[in-house]
Amino acid sequence: QIRDDILGIWGTKESMGKSVEGDIQQRKKTLPVIYALNTSGSKDKAELERLYSQGDIQGENISTVVRVLVQSGAKDYSQNLAEQYYHRALEQLEASGVEKHRQAPLKEMARFLLERDY
């Protein structure tokens, strides 16, 4: 889900096959948005709260949201958290006792989910 949240803001229309502005337009409370609301300065936080409390977010307001998210470090935070969960999952898999050759497809799938761009 974290990767979906990242791609929903910073993905490309070409790779996603849909508008990447949709999550912001629909005012979805994704991890990057929640992070920015919790860590941004009072002016940026107030701006996000204002935009997310009204109807659909459109036009320049989308750019404003993305600017605040970038300034807060929300993308890096989200990616780092996804990587932490990925490594924890691999540790659990290693400790599970599942035979190594059966672990390989699961590890491959986990890596794909972490790095996918669509």
2 — pLDDT class (breaks 50, 70, 90): very high
Residues 6+ apart with CB under 8 A from 62: 21, 24, 25
* Percentage of residues of the chain with pLDDT beyond 70: 100
Neighbours of 88 (CB within 10 A): 10
Is the pLDDT confidence value at 18 over 80?
no
Q: Which two tokens stand for residue 3?
A: 């990767």
Q: In this structure, what token pair is assigned to residue 111?
A: 């890596």
pLDDT at 107 over 80: yes
Taking only the tens place, the pLDDT of each residue in 44-96 is 999 999 999 998 999 999 999 999 999 999 999 999 999 999 999 999 999 99
Joined tokens for residue 7: 């791609």
pTM: 0.91
pLDDT score at 9 = 95
Q: Which of 74, 58, 49 is nearest to 19 (CA)?
A: 58
Backbone angles phi, psi at 106, to 5 degrees: -70, -40
